[in-house]
Structure 1
Amino acid sequence: MSITNHERQQFLEQFKKTWPIERLKTLKLEDYTSVGDKETLAYWLEFGIGRYLGSIKGGDSSKFGIYERKAEPKGQRDFISSDDRYSWKNKYGTSAKSAFANIKKKIIAVIDAVQAGDVEKIELLDFESALKWKLAFIYQNHAKPCVLPIYKLSKFKPFMADLPNYTHTIAYTKLLAIRGNRSALEYGFELWQKADAIEGQSTSDFDTPNDEENAISTLKSAPLNQILYGPPGTGKTYETVRAALQVLDPVAVAEYDACCHAKSVWKDRQQARQVLKARFDELKGQQRIRFVTFHQSFSYEDFVEGLRAETDEASGQLRYEVVDGVFKSLCEAADAKVTQKVEATIELNGRTVWKMSLGNTLANDAAIFEDCVTNDYVLLGYGGDIDFAGCKSRQEVQQRFVSSGVRLEDSRDYRLTSVTAFVTKMKPGDLVVVSDGNFKFRAIGEICGDYAYKTNPEYDGDYAQMRPVRWLRQYSPSLPHTELLNGQFSQMTLYKLSSPSLDKAKLAQLLAHAPTDTENQRPGARVLIIDEINRGNISRIFGELITLIEPSKRAGAAESLEVTLPYSKKPFRVPDNVFLIGTMNTADRSLAGLDIALRRRFAFTEMPPRPELLQNVSVERVNIGGLLAVMNQRIAALLDRDHCLGHAYFMPLHDEQTLARLADIFRQNIIPLLQEYFFEDWERIRWVLNDQSKAQEHAFIVAESAGLPELFPKVNDRLRQTQRWQLNDKAFSTIEAYRGIVAVASTPAETAVTSAQGEFSPALTEDDTARMDA
């Protein structure tokens, strides 16, 4: 169906007539979204005549913040909550009513802002991107438009080559300035068609995928294994926060980027960073992000699995248990499926939480656990065939043991302790965590009845102590203990779990978000950050897993592989939802090149110095961005670009643009790093600092008087003298010393920094180059 521009204008007027601002201010939830109702605002925006005003078709209904469902929600999404009728994004509220109230406020805020011509306010508004820009386009003053009917940010790329870090605001402002006398609607449609032609595709649907669709696309396209590499101080570890969230919460990253582009004030950007870091810390607390630093002593046992000595509670004998390393535990958590959940979120409400082992030997462990989960109870192996019904205290339990002829070691006997807790202290409503060794757990249940004696001939008279249980969660394979505890489980068969060992926030997370279907649910993606990845012995740390981390060898891939681990003797595979992010310092001269087996399995992202981040920082009229750029030009000429100086050393100057702070940076960071780079070749360090062109009192490094005649009387003429150097302390507190670093640049220091890519062009004079070559 071909729509003319005149018809589009008519549709625009009809939309505003049907949905005037006054109606939006009194909008009700059922008028905003309703299944099968073509008269709702959501339907008009996506499928009604609103689709001819720039479509937002694509993805699912979560693009509207809240939506009514046709059926029960499918699967589990951490950012979505649901009741019996609606689903909504958690960030808008804790109920359908509160969420819609916030969404309606944001709709009105968008309209108020666009009618005031304040596009930047809309940019910063935390609201659904496509939705807010479409509303802004429709309700703006079309005599003086400030928004185009293009809501997909990437569609502007062909027109923004000179501004690669553009936002919606920047794109709208630039393109509207050259629209001529065409309407915004006509002009926007023309731009969309031109973009299609430039991108070499047939005319697309004039639409924009929503944030969730973008997030899914990002997750699929993000490299499973990547390494951020660059010289010291370029923000590699700093960038891992953003890289991890690009995988786990790309919407948070998009909001952060938008804020940084819109805000030029450093403090505002820092506040946005704090919000991003808080989200990172939240996911890290949920064990979805793990952080580890490689070093020369880091081993396979730390990374994959190893043996640890433990003392058996019953026999007192020493035994060795396989302990998972950081990578294996992360993989098993990512690969675990929830095989059973109740259809409700379980509140803790001060419940007592118990740890319990179901089976205490390798021979009967599996059978007992399966028996318990099948028949909805837990069984205690101690106490034999003694019936403890009616016991109310430890003394009464002890008397039953004695009456049955059982000889206890003393009043602290482990059998007496466990039975007493099971019979007299456990109560209905308590929670029980079923361990799987000392480092895993496989089920969580709720005690739902009193103690009972149950004969079990198949267990030779043991496991007769029973408590009925409602199983709340079961996991296969078992989850690592780190998903629940701040430490490991004790060897004891039964005991209370309490703070600080028990992390109640993690337990609450495990007991929340119950599904409403019967499908097994996989946890979300997991990220392992490996700092200083090139400092470890790669073959020693990864072992046989070096092959399994390849995308084509991951679980579910066409060429999927698994190996049998040497300690546990169990098969192991690497899931396709585990992402590895490493950092590598290219200037670490104590190490050989990165293991080639690892290099070809990782995508490499360079993190160069970015002096443009310092272009607005000056200390007594010395531009710090230009200062850094010139020094790095000289280092690249003398050594290589892998040994440049990172911008991170100078970032504190954003908060404190003083000569004293600059002096501290040079004393504590820059000069020591240059000493390391040049093996204390002070002559070349002087060239980097341009000391040879300065007055003596402004040079950081000056010649030291050798005093050779006094040291070696009468032999001075036979000595081969070598120049000796010393630091000039006074220069650090003199602004002319820093100004002199860039004094011979062929262009002003400020122009040594480009605003786009952070690269710098050569700015050395011929005289300066000649001195270096001398």
Structure 2
Amino acid sequence: MGTNKTATEYQADYALWDEFLQQWPITRLRTMTLADYSQAGSQDTLCYWLESKLDKMGSIWGGSAFKFGIYSRKDQSDKPDGGGASYSDHYAWYSKYGANETEAFAKVRDLVAGVAEAAARGDLQTIEDADLGLATKWKIAFHYQGREQPGVVDVFTKSALLAFVGLSDPKLRMIDLQTAALQERAKSEGILEFGSRAWAVWVAKAVDVWKLSHGNDGSFSANEREALAKERRAIIHQETGNNQAGNFVEVANDALFYLCHGNEVRLLGRFCGPAKASEKGADWLERPYVVLKQSQSSTPYSKSKQKWTPAGNSTFSQVPKEQLSVFEKTLLQPYFGVRLEDVMETKAVEMVPDAMLTAIGNAGAGPLNRILYGPPGTGKTYRAVADAVAIIDGQPVHTLMATPEAYAAAKEKFDQYRTSGQIEFVTFHPSYTYQDFVVGIRPRMERDQVVYGVEPGPVKRIAEAAEENWRASRLQPGTALTDMQRFERAYGQLVDDISNSPSQFVQIPLYGGTKTQARIGTQAKGIILSETGSSLPYNIPKKGLAVLWQKRKSYTKPGDMTDCSYNKSFFYAVIKYLEKADDKLGAPEQTTQEVLRNFVLVIDEINRGNIAKIFGELITLIEDDKRLGAVNELTCSLPYVDPEEESAFGLPPNLYVLGTMNTADRSIALLDTALRRRFTFDELMPDVTALPVVAVDGVDLRKLLETLNRRIAYLFDRDHTLGHAYFIHIKTFDDLQHSLLRKVIPLLQEYFFEDWSKIRLVFRDGQKKQEQQIVRELSVDASQLFGTDAEIVDSRAMFEVAEKLTPDMVKAIYA
């Protein structure tokens, strides 16, 4: 809204207002159609008038189109209902208004007409009570009120009205603020002129923005800057020249500032306390602040080198009032997604410093890297399923394992998350390699021929999915898609067009009209073009298209593409196809902030593979403080991957690594030391309480397991005890007999290297009667076997296992 308009400009605004009322008289509102109200591409709809044509008379521009209750979608891709929003092929609306677009519009139309009619009769309470977007309903009310006796001023933000009337209570309703503001209007003062006066007061009072730099000049280490961000302390050296330190001390407690690290824009904040001596040293000053917005872009600022910009040579510099519009266009909107007039209403948010992002997914999710270890049969893989679901859903793991039904539900979720890509499950073994796990070259069939290409492994797949979600969660709501996001959207549409074609190609004409067939290249990293009737393929890499996309508007023919050194006709054809796809998809809708989700990589039997060989550089990247966004963030270029086609690889802070390890296969003490340091270890030992209390044919399963394990631990070690899984599903004595003869005894044979005397000690067979022994010792006379002339004179023991067990034989183990 302008604050220094001339009389001629006001006359033009009043004339435009009259034109609006002629085209949209109040009587039309009750009979308008949905297309009259909102229609993508039309400049005659009511919504377009309110947001665009009448923008100079109280702006409601920007933000989500849901402010109109229902709106025509430019992006008509499939969207699921959820979060209070509903979608059809052509419209989106708040679900509260109706089950379909017809019902929703009927409700919205009634609200819009009701607000306009209330404004015409001066009924502000009805406007206040209307269940419609705050700025939208007061904008409607402003234009349909009686102009000679107005009750609404064209200022629709509470902060501006609070500043004008000299109040500070943010809980005041809009009706109260509008009423208080109108009391300041002179009888002879036009409502538009009065609105400009009210707006000018707010601008003079409230919009006072400063630049603060914690620069890259060596004054701060990375750890210091991270600590300052965590503790929300703004800091400056007291000898900073040009009175910058003095201004830092003197600015008001509610002064706005943006923080940058050199050319990197970090946050938008507001001071909330006076300056004081800093613990950094006697020559430093600091002030506390609250965070209003975190930067949604990591792109370094490069627009200008004026002192108030990140590139300017200053530490603490005010944005000049005459430069506020430039500040809004080049900094406030691109980096924080807000307009200047809304910034004072922006509430403080809880800021998590980058180094703390490892814990952002879920406070109860636990360590990022953990290993469940223990003897065989202790339920490590079983527990890993529940742990993975608990990490994603934020539930206590014990609730997911409380009952068989609860675990069955958790397992079902686990399978669903695997299908959706939120969980990856792999098993290590001696033949498993880095190429299987991270990225490698694999064969595949293409047009009846074997071809070899670079394929991602499970860790790369899930890391990329987790990173995409993590980055999307950092965007502030209401952020418009960037130009490169539009490129990705258009390129994705081309890939979809080809994939959905029965022939697996689409026709794209060259500049001269020659038809070409476009197919998807390897991993969709390029488009393969071939002229119709020709088998000669032309590869159009995605990275090259991305470079040309930025100058697409300047290309009218292939020769204009000076940045392209080869196959210009083919690059031109694809760029123009993408441009048409972008136009068809329409101007980008405002993005919504994505909820941060946790992802889990489950590695079963992690110690059975060659860890150092399989993990490679991941052994460093999995560390908490090396994750993306952390203070010591590290990335690397993966083998087989073109660094120009893919950005450096790193692990995001919402990716959890969960391993299981059988201590009977390899002692934990022998595990790679570097791996042990990077993981938290949770021991799972045999749990006798997991076994049924009721005896099976008189056999107490709990006492049996406890007794066996005490003896095994004494004769060998605790890492080779028996897990409760060996007995947990036993219902009958036949089940128990099968487990002992076919599972437990073979395992003990392996443990004790066929030393049957120790196995007899485990079963206490030496103290039982012959008929109750499970492993029986047979004395064999050598002379009976080999004759008296054999040199073998000593007898030796031989052992046999009972073919059938009885309850008494088993009870004798612990009785």
Query: What TM-score results when the alignment is normalised by the length of structure 1?
Result: 0.47
Structure ID, larger Rg: 2
Higher relative contact order (CA 8 A, sep 6+): 1
